[in-house]
Structure 1
Amino acid sequence: MLDVAASTESPKSAEQVQAIVAAAGAAGRRLEIIGGGTKRGISPVVASGVLSLAKLDKVIDYAPEELVLTVQAGARLAELEKLVAAEGQMLPFEPPHLGKVLAARGKTTIGGAVAANLSGPRRIRAGAARDHVLGFAGVTGRGEVFKAGGKVVKNVTGYDLSKLIAGSWGTLAVMTEITLKVLPAGRTETTLLFFGLDERRAGELMTLAMGTSAEVSGAAHLPAFAARRPPLKADLATTALRLEGFPGSVTARAEALLLRLRGFGRAEALDAAHSRDFWRHVRDVDVFAGDPRPLWRLSVPPAAGWQVARQASGDALYDWAGGLVWMLSDAPAAQVQAAARALGGHAGCWRGGERAFAPLDPPLAALSGRVKAAFDPLGVLNPGKFG
C-alpha cells in the first residue's frame, strides 16, 4: 500500500477521473482507488499510484418528495445522513462508519460504503446497500465513461450493473456519481434489551423475534465480554431488538413482542434517544476499537451464528440476528475460515491480517475473472484486492 501524501491524484470531475485511468492503462500503471481511506487496510493493494475521490464530494440532486438522492462518490456519509435526516428521511441500509474500529483516519464516503456493499443493523429488514442503488456513473479500467440505472425507482432497463458494482471494492470501475433510494425515517423507536442469555439462547430469541409480525429492524447480541466494554458498559450479556415507526405502532408491537418472548426473562426498554445511540455503537462495532487482536467479519446463516465463536476460538458481537459476526480472534486464518465454511458462510480478516478475502471456489473464480476482464482487462484498478 502506498503513502497517500506522496502519490495521490485527486480529480475534481468525472472527466479528470477518466483521463487519469486512461493514462494509467496506457502507461502500464496500477491505481489504488480510495474515498475517505477508512478501509484501505482491508486487503491492501499493490499499486504505483493512488486515485482519491475525496474532492468529488458534491450533492448533485436531492428530491425528498421523490425519495431520490444523487451525489458524487466522495460525498461524506455523515453529511448525507444529516441532509436526509433534516427532511425526516434516512439511508435505509444504515451504512456503518468503521474508521474507529479499523484504526483508520479519514471520513467514510458514500462511494466507499457502496463499493464495499456495507450495511448496518437495518439490513435484516431494509436490505443491503446494493438494493438501494438506483444508478451510478463511473469509469471502467479501460478508461471508458459509462452510466447504469437511472434516477427513478422503477427503472429496470438493461442489466442491473448497480448490484454488480456494489461489493466489487473498486476493482471493476471507479464510481463518480451514485443515485440512491432514501426512505422516510421512523417517527420514533425503542429497543428491548434482554440480559444474561448465552449465545445459543440469544440466537433462539432473535430467530423467534424475526419470525413474528413485530417488524424488528435490528437484532443483535453482545456477549458479556463485548457488553462490558465502553461505550456500552453493561454488566451482563445483552440481546437487543429494535422496533421503529409511528409511536402507537411501536408501543403495540413492543407489547406483543414482549408477550411472545416472555420465556426469555424480563426485558428493559430503551427510549428513542438511547436506542439510536445503542445501535450506532453496534453498527460501528465501537466495542472492539483499540483491541490489538485481529478483527474478523463473518457472514453465516443467522440460526448458526451463535456457533462461530466456539468453533473459531474468539470473542464476538452478533448482528443481523446472528447472520453477521464481528469477532476478535488470534486463531489461525485457516481455522476461522474453515469454521465459517462449515456453517455455510464465509469469513474475512478486516484488521490485523494480510488478506481479507478467502480464495473463491474455482467456478466462482472463473466467473469473477471473466467479469474483471470485461471491465478492467489491464488490471488497472485496485490490483490484488481479492488476492
Structure 2
Amino acid sequence: MSPQTEAELAECISSAQGPLHIQGGGTRSIGRINAATTLETTGISGISLYEPGALTLVAQAGTPLAEIEAALLPERQRLAFEPQDLRGLLGTTGQSTIGGVVASNSSGPRRIQAGACRDFTLGTRFVDGTGTVLKNGGRVMKNVTGYDLVKLLSGSWGTLGVLTEVSLKTQPLPETAACILINGLSDSEAVTAMSRALGSPYEITGAAHAPAGIDGHPVTMLRIEGFEGSVSYRAEELRKMFSDKDVAIERSPDRLKDGWRWVRDVALMQDKPGDVWRISCKPSDAPELAHRLKATSLLYDWGGGLIWALMGEGSDARKRLGDFGGHATLVRASKSGATPPTFHPEPAALATLSKSLRAKFDPKGILNSGIMD
C-alpha cells in the first residue's frame, strides 16, 4: 500500500486486517517484521514550510532526506544531529526519508555536542494504530505537560504510530572546521584522550577512534567547528594538550567531510561479512566491553559512548558482554539461522511501560509488529 495523503494513510490503517510493515525509503530496515503487507509512506512527501530566519523546517514524512539537505544548503543551514546513511552498511537501496530518520532517532557523531534527532524535532503529526490522526508539539521549542509525543515517537521505529509530518529545528553551517588526528593510541588511551578533550573548553563536535583506520593504523579524531579565528586557536590549543602524542591537524573541507562521513556511516564495516552490533555504554567502560566482544573490527564514536562491532555471523554480543550499564542493538544480522533479538531486553518496569504505551497507541498490535521483540 502506498497512500498519497494523510487521509489515505489513516484509511489504510483503520481498515487493516492484519499486521503492517511500516516503511519509508526502506534504507534502515532492521529487526524482525511480522507482516505480509508493506505500508509505504514515500507518497506523503514535500517540504511544506521553511523559514530560514526562524531556523524551522516542516516536511511531510516521506520527503527524501537528500531533498531537505538540498533545501538547507543555499541558506547555509544543516540538520545538526547529522543523520546517518546506513545503505552501505545494511546493503539497502532507495532514498532515506525524514520520517525514517525521526522514527529511528538517527543521530551521528555530532550528538555528543548538539544532541540527538529527538532534540531537534519540534512537532509531529502521525496516525496511530486505530487510524486516528494525532499531532503534538509545534514549530518552536516549549515545555509540555503530559506525554511528550514528539520524543516518544522519535526512536519508536513505527510501533506507536506512522509519522506523516515533522517540524525540525535547523542550525547554521559553521564558517570552517578542523580535525585533530592523534595517531597510534590504544583503545584505552584513545578513550582517555577523547574524554580529556570533551572536558576541555574547546567545544568538540566529534570524538571518534578507530583501532584500524583507513591506513590500518589506530587513529583518534577530534572535530571542532566555528569561526575561522576560533577554530585555529582551539586546534592549536588541542595540539598543545596532546603535545606528547603523534598529532596532526586536518583542515581540508573535502577530507573532513569524507572522514566524518566514514565515521557516521560506519564505512569501516561496509561490504564485510558478519553481524554488526551497536553498543551504547559509559565511555570509561568501552575498552573493557570491546575486549569482551572479541570483534573482527571496532569503531568508537561519541567519545567512547558508542561502540560499533563487526562480529561473526550468529554471534551474540550480549552474552559476551554480560551485565553492563548500557544496551546492545543488532543492526545487521545474518540472513540465515537463528539470531538474537534486535533490541536489548528492557528492565521489567520499563518493559511494562513500553507494552502499555503500545497497547494505548496500537491496540490491534499491527504497526511493525515484532520489531521490538
Shorter-chain TM-score tier: over 0.9
Q: Which residue of 2 aligns with 1:90?
A: 78
Correspondent of 1:62 among 50, 53, 59 = 50
Match of 1:317 in 2: 299
- Letter of the 2:278 counterpart: R
Structure 1: how far apart are the matches of 2:96 and 2:69?
12
8 A Cα contact 1:11 1:53, kept in partner = yes
Equivalent residue for 2:348?
362
> Which residue of 2 is the match for residue 349 of structure 1?
330
Q: CA RMSD in A?
A: 1.5
Cα pair 1:72 1:177 within 8 Å, conserved:
yes
Which residue of structure 1 lines up, in the alignment, with residue 270 of structure 2?
289
Q: Note if contact 1:312-1:331 (Cα within 8 Å) is conserved in structure 2.
A: no
Measured after TM superposition, the shift of residue 35 of structure 1 is 0.3
Aligned match of 2:21: 32
Contact 2:178 2:249 in 1 (8 A): no
Q: 1:119 aligns with which of 107, 111, 118?
A: 107
Provide the rounded CA distance (Å) in 1 between the counterparts of 2:345 and 2:208: 29
How far off is 1:358 after superposition?
Answer: 2.6
Please name the residue that 2:209 is paired with: 221
Q: In structure 2, what is the equivalent of residue 230 of structure 1? A: none
Instruction: Determine if contact 2:183/2:220 at 8 Å carries over to the other structure.
Output: yes
**Preserved contact between residue 317 and residue 325 of structure 1 (Cα < 8 Å):** yes
In the alignment, the residues of structure 2 paired with residue 302 and residue 113 of structure 1 have an alpha-carbon distance, to the nearest angstrom, of 25
Aligned to 2:64: 76
TM-score normalised by L of structure 2: 0.95
TM-score by length of 1: 0.91
Deviation at 1:113, TM superposition (A): 1.1
Q: Secondary structure at the match of 1:101?
A: helix
Q: 1:360 to 1:156 in 2, by over 3 A?
A: closer
Q: Which ranges of structure 1 fall in alignment gaps of 5 or more residues? A: 1-8, 228-232
Determine the C-alpha separation between the residues in 1 that align with 2:313 and 2:52. 48
Cα pair 2:78 2:172 within 8 Å, conserved: yes
Matched AA of 1:245: G
**Amino acid aligned to 2:10:** Q
Deviations 1:49-104 (A, max 9, x none): 11001111201100000000000111111221121122111101000010111111
2:5 is the counterpart of 1:13: yes
Give 3-state SS (helix, strand or coil) of 1:218's partner.
strand
For residues 350 and 142 of structure 2, the distance between their equivalents in structure 1, rounded to whole angstroms, comes to 30
CA distance in 1, matches of 2:356, 2:169: 30
Cα deviation 1:258-287 (Å, max 9, x = unaligned): 112223333332422211111011111112
Kindly tell me: are residues 340 and 61 of structure 1, through their superposed partners in 2, closer, same or farther at Cα, counting changes over 3 Å?
A: farther
Structure 1 counterpart SS, 2:107: coil
SS of the counterpart of 1:36? coil
Query: How far is 1:338 from its partner?
Result: 4.1
Of 188, 202, 211 in structure 1, the residue corresponding to residue 176 of structure 2 is 188
Q: Aligned runs of 1:262-281 on 2, under 5 Å?
A: 262-281=243-262
- Structure 2 equivalent of residue 6 of structure 1: none
Alignment of 1:175 with 2:194, yes or no, is no
Q: For the residues of structure 2 that align with 1:85 and 1:307, how far apart are their CA atoms?
A: 41
Indicate the residue corresponding to 2:369 in structure 1: 383
Give % identity: 41
Where structure 2 has 5 or more consecutive residues not aligned to the other structure, the ranges are none
Question: What is the alpha-carbon distance in structure 2 between the residues aligned to residue 283 and residue 167 of structure 1?
Answer: 18
Q: Which residue of 1 aligns with 2:15?
A: 23
CA contact under 8 A between 2:184 and 2:246: conserved in structure 1? Answer: no
Structure 1 residues 333, 357: closer, same or farther in 2, change over 3 A? Answer: farther
Q: Distance in 2 between matches of 1:277 and 1:262?
A: 26
Match of 2:357 in 1: 371
Does the CA-based 8 Å contact 1:149-1:155 persist in structure 2? no
Q: Structure 2 vs 1, CA of residues 342 and 258 (structure 1 numbering), >3 Å: closer, same or farther?
A: farther
Per-residue CA deviation, residues 9-28 of structure 1 (Å, 9 max, x unaligned), is 1111100110000001xx3x
User: Bigger shift: 77-86 or 138-147?
Assistant: 77-86
SS class of match (2:342): coil
Q: Deviations over 1:197-234 (max 9, x none)?
A: 1111111110100000110000000112xx1xxxxx32
AA of the residue aligned to 2:207: A
Shift of 1:121: 0.4
